[in-house]
């Protein structure tokens, strides 16, 4: 199988590419992978250094909204796994145009090229944020989309485009919606690597409001394994939630990171809450469990410890990224 992986130099996409090319999934070692990535601030070719010499790997530097380039790449591709996205909520609040261009226009460009080329499978990687906020219980895949930030609205829009290409053009698509990811190679603007790296440098960490917002945490290895299960066996047109099963308030997460870093609450700086800050996310993963045999394997305690250790051991990877901000 020849995969086109968009955003494959980013945090989650590069994890998926590394796992595929090193044979971490059944049958994946023989797959060919073409990575298409614009190498914006969050894309980094160092994330792919482990597999850069693989004969089954090819990198293309380009924009998913570049119609000519995407049309040129699509023939000969069997399946598209679409990670590429602008994904930081705070950035979408201060300037949303790039989010619309990448997440909506870029997704449309890929779908249209995939339709024309007769691609066998199109997996669109989305987010639980498209559902909005939920006070209790968990969202299943039939819950209405109620996004509350420009970022989540752009992802919900792209989800609807993917659905439309299934319904109208019979393109074989799947949509995955994940909870908050963590793990190695995550860009240090995100909360876990930001807090770890700040504390390593003796800098304070910002905590929004009272820190009572709740997120479900999913290790990137589990997320990518779930995506591969969907790629291989997901039913055409279906949506699959992928979660980690560990819900924490931001305050609880901060406490764990302080403890792991040997720091105290003196290192926490309370900051004004984010505009439109969703209180709680929680996905019901019973569908992907029952249909595809998925379940999270990385428990949060060990996953967080391993992540902290990775950032401590890889200062040379993240330090230049923080200096460039």
Residue 275 has pLDDT above 80, yes or no: no
Give me the active site residues, please.
Answer: 128-129, 151
Q: CA 244 to CA 296: how far, in whole Å?
A: 6
**Which residues 6+ apart lie within 8 Å of 230 measured at CB?**
123, 174, 176, 240, 288, 292
pLDDT of residue 111: 98
Comparing 65-69, 147-151, 271-275, the range with the smallest average pLDDT is 271-275
Comparing 86-100, 149-163, 169-183, the range with the smallest average pLDDT is 86-100
Domain 191-212+247-281+299-324 -> CATH class:
alpha beta
Domain 2-184+219-244 -> CATH class:
alpha beta
The sheet with strand 2-6 has its strands ordered as: 57-61, 32-37, 2-6, 79-82, 121-127, 173-178, 239-242
pLDDT of residue 88: 61
User: Inter-axis angle of helices 191-200 and 300-313, to 10 degrees?
Assistant: 50
pLDDT of residue 278: 84
pLDDT of residue 277: 80
Residue 91 has pLDDT above 80, yes or no: no
Q: At 87, is the pLDDT very low, low, confident or very high (cuts 50, 70, 90)?
A: low
pLDDT of residue 242: 98
Residue 324 has pLDDT above 70, yes or no: no
How many percent of the chain have pLDDT more than 90?
86
Q: CA 110 to CA 154: how far, in whole Å?
A: 15
The tokens describing 58, both together, are 């090819």
Residue 265 has pLDDT above 90, yes or no: yes
What is the average per-residue pLDDT within 130-141? Answer: 96
Residue 126 has pLDDT above 70, yes or no: yes
Question: Per residue in 11-60, pLDDT tens?
Answer: 999 999 999 999 999 999 999 999 999 999 889 999 999 999 999 999 99
Q: Tell me, what DSSP letter sits at residue 104?
A: I
What is the average per-residue pLDDT within 125-151? Answer: 95
Q: At 81, is the pLDDT very low, low, confident or very high (cuts 50, 70, 90)?
A: very high
- Chain mean pLDDT for the chain: 94
pLDDT of residue 302: 96
Whether the Cβ atoms of residue 265 and residue 251 lie closer than 8 Å to each other: no
Global confidence as pTM: 0.95
What are the E-state strand segments in 104-213? 121-127, 173-178, 180-182, 205-208
Question: Per residue in 172-187, pLDDT tens?
Answer: 999 999 999 999 999 9
Q: Could you tell me the residue ranges of all domains in the chain?
A: 2-184+219-244, 191-212+247-281+299-324
Q: At 207, is the pLDDT very low, low, confident or very high (cuts 50, 70, 90)?
A: very high
How many percent of the chain have pLDDT more than 70?
96
């Amino acid at each position: 199988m020849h995969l086109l992986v968009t955003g494959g130099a980013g945090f989650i996409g590069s994890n998926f590419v590394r796992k595929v090319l090193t044979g971490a999934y059944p049958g994946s070692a023989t797959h060919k992978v073409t990575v298409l990535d614009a190498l914006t601030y969050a894309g980094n070719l160092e994330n792919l250094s482990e597999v850069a010499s693989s004969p089954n790997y090819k990198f293309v530097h380009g924009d998913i909204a570049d119609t000519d380039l995407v049309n040129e790449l699509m023939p000969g591709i069997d399946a598209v796994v679409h990670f590429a996205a602008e994904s930081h909520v705070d950035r979408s609040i201060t300037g949303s145009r790039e989010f619309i261009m990448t997440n909506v226009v870029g997704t449309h460009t890929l779908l249209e090229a995939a339709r024309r080329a007769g691609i066998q499978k199109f997996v669109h990687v989305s987010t639980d944020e498209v559902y909005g906020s939920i006070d209790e219980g968990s969202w299943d895949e039939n819950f209405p989309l109620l996004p509350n930030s420009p970022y989540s609205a752009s992802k919900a829009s792209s989800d609807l485009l993917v659905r439309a290409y299934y319904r109208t053009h019979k393109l074989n698509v799947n949509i995955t919606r994940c909870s908050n990811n963590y793990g190695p190679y995550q860009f240090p603007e995100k909360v876990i690597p930001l807090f770890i790296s700040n504390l390593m440098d003796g800098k304070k960490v910002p905590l929004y409001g009272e820190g009572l917002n709740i997120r479900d945490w999913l290790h990137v290895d589990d997320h990518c394994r779930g995506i591969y299960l969907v790629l291989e066996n997901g039913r055409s047109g279906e949506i699959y939630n992928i979660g980690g099963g560990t819900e924490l308030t931001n305050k609880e997460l901060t406490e764990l990171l302080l403890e792991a870093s040997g720091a105290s609450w003196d290192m926490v700086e309370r900051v004004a809450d984010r505009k439109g800050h969703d209180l709680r996310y929680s996905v019901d993963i019973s569908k992907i469990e029952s249909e595809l045999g998925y379940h999270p394997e990385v428990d949060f305690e060990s996953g967080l410890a391993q992540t902290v250790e990775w950032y401590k051991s890889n200062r040379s990877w993240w330090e230049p990224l923080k200096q460039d901000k």
